[in-house]
Amino acid sequence: MSSVALSTSHPRPLGLSASAIGLPVYLLVAVYTIGACVAILSTGATQAFAFGSYLVVWPAAFFVVFPAIYALLLALRIVHRLETRRGRRLALRKALAARHVQQFATGVGLLLAMMVFQGAFTSLKTALPLWQGGFPYDVAQADIDRALHFGVDPWRYLYAIGADPWVRAFAEWNYNQGWFIVCYATLFFMAVSASTGAVRTRYLVSYMITWAIVGNLLAGLFLSAGPAFYGFVTGDAARFGEQLAFLAASGDGAHSATKVQDYLWHFYSSGQSGLGSGISAFPSMHVGLVTLNALFIAEFSRRWGLLAFAYVALVLASSVYLAWHYAIDGYVAIAVTVVVYVAVKKVFLRAS
Segment 125-178, tens digit of pLDDT: 999 988 988 899 999 999 999 999 999 999 999 999 999 999 999 999 999 999
pLDDT at 195 over 90: no
Cβ atoms within 10 Å, residue 34: 11
Alpha-helical segments (H) within 44-178: 54-60, 66-81, 85-95, 98-132, 138-148, 155-162, 165-173
- Please tell me the predicted confidence (pLDDT) of residue 101: 75
pLDDT at 37 over 60: yes
Q: What is the mean pLDDT of residues 234-256?
A: 91
Q: Which amino acid is at 25?
A: V
CA distance 76 to 69: 10
Contact by Cβ (8 Å): 326, 212: no
Contact by Cβ (8 Å): 201, 13: yes
- Please tell me the predicted confidence (pLDDT) of residue 80: 63
- Please tell me the predicted confidence (pLDDT) of residue 273: 74
Higher pLDDT pick, 265 / 272: 265
Mean of per-residue pLDDT scores for the chain: 88
Higher pLDDT pick, 251 / 155: 155
Query: Which of 325, 155, 314, 127 minimizes the C-alpha distance to 226?
Result: 325
- Please tell me the predicted confidence (pLDDT) of residue 198: 80
pTM (two decimals): 0.88
**Interval 52-81: pLDDT, tens:** 989 989 999 999 999 999 888 777 776 666
